[in-house]
Chains A and B, each alone.
Chain A
Amino acid sequence: MNRQRAQNWIFGVSLALSLLLMLMPLPQTWAPLKPYWPALVLVYWALELPERVTLGLAFLVGLGADVLDGALLGEQALRLVALSFIVLRFRSRLRFFPMWQQALAVLVLLLNDRVLLLLVRLFAGDPRPPATFWLAPFTGTLAWPFVFLLLDDIRARLRAKET
Chain B
Amino acid sequence: MALPDKESSPIFADAAAGTLRLIGYLALACVLMVLDHRNDWLHRARVTASLVVEPVYRLAAWPAEAAQDAGVAFSQRRALIDENRQLREALLLAQARLNRMNAVTEQNARLKQLLETRRMLGMNVQLARLINVDLGAARNRVMIDAGSREGVRVGQVVIDAHGVMGQVVEVLPHSATVLLITDANHSIPVVDERSGLRGIAHGSNVPDRLLVSDIPLSADVKVGDRVTTSGLGGRFPAGFPVGTIESIGPDPSGMFAQAIARPAAALARSGEVLLLRDLPEQVGPPTVAPEFGPPASLAPAGNAAAAPNDPAAAAALQKPVAATASGGTTP
A88 to B132, CA, bound (A): 35
CB pair B135 A69 closer than 8 Å: yes
Q: Which stretch (B23-31, B189-197, B249-257, B304-312) binds chain A? A: B23-31
Can you name the residue of chain B whose Cβ is closest to the Cβ of A22?
Answer: B134
Asked if B137 CB lies within 8 Å of chain A CBs, one says yes
CB pair B56 A32 closer than 8 Å: no
Give chain A interface residues in 46-62, CB to chain B under 8 Å.
55-56, 58-59, 62
Interface size class, chain B: 35 or more
Asked if B319 CB lies within 8 Å of chain A CBs, one says no
On A, residues with C-beta under 8 Å from B are: 19-20, 22-26, 28, 31-32, 34, 55-56, 58-59, 62, 66-75, 77-78, 81-82, 85, 88-89, 91-93, 120-121, 124, 126-127, 129-130, 132-133
Tally of A-B Cβ pairs under 8 angstroms: 124
- Name the contact of A62 in the complex, choosing from B9, B21, B29, B30 (C-beta under 8 A): B29
Give chain B interface residues in 202-226, CB to chain A under 8 Å.
205-207
Neighbouring B residues of A55 by C-beta, 8 Å: 18, 21-22, 25
Neighbouring B residues of A34 by C-beta, 8 Å: 134, 137
Can you name the residue of chain B whose Cβ is closest to the Cβ of A123?
Answer: B33
Can you name the residue of chain A whose Cβ is closest to the Cβ of B25?
Answer: A81
CB pair B134 A25 closer than 8 Å: yes
Give chain B interface residues in 36-79, CB to chain A under 8 Å.
36-37, 41-42, 45-46, 49, 53, 56-57, 59-61, 63-64
CB pair B184 A74 closer than 8 Å: no
A125 to B91, CA, bound (A): 46
Neighbouring A residues of B53 by C-beta, 8 Å: 67-68
- Name the contact of A72 in the complex, choosing from B37, B170, B207 (C-beta under 8 A): B37
Taking the closest CB of chain A, its distance from the CB of B24, in whole angstroms, is 8
Given contacts A74-B36, A126-B138, 10 further A-B contacts (CB under 8 A): A20-B56, A24-B134, A68-B57, A73-B35, A75-B29, A75-B33, A81-B29, A91-B10, A124-B33, A127-B184
A-B contact pairs, 20 of them (CB 8 A): A22-B134, A23-B61, A24-B60, A55-B22, A58-B25, A70-B42, A70-B46, A70-B170, A72-B36, A73-B33, A81-B22, A92-B9, A93-B11, A121-B138, A124-B33, A126-B138, A126-B184, A129-B138, A132-B137, A133-B138
Can you name the residue of chain B whose Cβ is closest to the Cβ of A20?
Answer: B60
Q: Given A20-B59, A25-B132, are A67 and B45 neighbors across the interface (CB < 8 Å)?
A: yes
Can you name the residue of chain B whose Cβ is closest to the Cβ of A118?
Answer: B138
Neighbouring A residues of B37 by C-beta, 8 Å: 72, 124
Asked if B133 CB lies within 8 Å of chain A CBs, one says yes
Neighbouring A residues of B235 by C-beta, 8 Å: none
Tell me which of A25, A31, A91, A126 has the highest count of chain B C-beta atoms within 10 A of its own C-beta.
Answer: A25
Can you name the residue of chain B whose Cβ is closest to the Cβ of A76?
Answer: B29
Neighbouring A residues of B32 by C-beta, 8 Å: 73-74, 77
Neighbouring A residues of B138 by C-beta, 8 Å: 121, 126, 129, 133
CB pair A72 B64 closer than 8 Å: no
Neighbouring B residues of A24 by C-beta, 8 Å: 60-61, 63-64, 133-134
- Name the contact of A78 in the complex, choosing from B26, B63, B170, B205 (C-beta under 8 A): B26
A130 to B206, CA, bound (A): 8
CB pair A68 B137 closer than 8 Å: no
A93 to B138, CA, bound (A): 34
- Name the contact of A71 in the complex, choosing from B61, B135, B205, B268 (C-beta under 8 A): B135
CB pair B22 A25 closer than 8 Å: no
A73 to B47, CA, bound (A): 13
Neighbouring A residues of B133 by C-beta, 8 Å: 23-25
Q: Given A67-B49, A72-B36, A72-B42, are A23 and B206 neighbors across the interface (CB < 8 Å)?
A: no
